[in-house]
Chains A and B, each alone.
Chain A
Amino acid sequence: MSLERERPLPRTYAVLAFPLAMLVVFFLVPFGIMVATSFYHRIEGAFYTPAFELANWRRLFQPVFLERAVFSIWICLLAGAVCITVAFPFTYFLTRMRRRAHVALVIVVLSALSLSEVIVAFTWYILLGRASGVSNILVWLGLMSEPAAYQPSFGAVVLGLCYIAFPYCVLTLYPQLTRLDPEITEAAQTLGASPWRTFWTVVVPIARPIIVVGFLLVFVFTLGSYIIAFFLGRPEHWTLSVFIADQASANANVPFASAMALFLTALSLLVVAIVGLIESRTRRAT
């Protein structure tokens, strides 16, 4: 094999044409339309008309929406933290299991991907409700005197968000943790580290980059979810996504929904950039 890189043949570029076209048609063009729409004029009681006005953007900077934006970022960062805290040890021990148990668990996790967000939201709605929820089991066991409702609540929203993001989080961590040489953790143990200390002083630091990636993935993924917060939370637990959906479908105010969606996208990119920066800084420092 020569060290010099050969120039790709025109045919090689041709292979890229199809995915590129898909990307343009189904991502760039709709995104452009959304940017344009955010400046359109809304006609009350009807639809909208092309225009260039900043009314939608100005409306966005009202305290209620800014406060929702901050809340959305906060609850999704929390969901990311909770999810990675559960998913990382889960995936780590999964990869250390015997082959058969290992494969069975991966299938269970993957099958959770087939559940739509609506089904997940409804299921938790029932499970956390008073009528036929988990508290009835606790009552039956004699641990509680009467059934209680755990939703709508902040905790229920975080739980739901973690639930839908969990399989993606596991799938992100899985390839890297599978490759972690078992001799590395064994080496730590021969050097006097208990399994617990080995986990904290060797496994977590080695996997830190992928932990950050998994965390950000859950953050971005849950930021776009609106059904979970809508079903499992009170209005004060609704994320900006709920308002976007509400504006777009219930109020038919697509220009304002577009402006909010773009604002949310920009905010999430900002958070991702900040986390990425902190990560690379600390990595260089050690």
Chain B
Amino acid sequence: MGQPDQVEAYNYSVFEGTDDFLAFRLALPVGSQAPDVAATVADTGEPVRLSDYWRDRDLLVEFGSLT
């Protein structure tokens, strides 16, 4: 977890439309090892890691939110 103000900046309360699409193009090109991160199963609250899902099969991940 980051500092409280960084967490608040990440979770902005006003959409400003300043997403950096060019930075995305340089990060994690195909062939990269995907970063393994901790996550929580929404339905159960169970802690998991992304690698749990790609260990034995391919994994398709969509990122997003309700809004």
Whether A associates with B in a native complex is: no
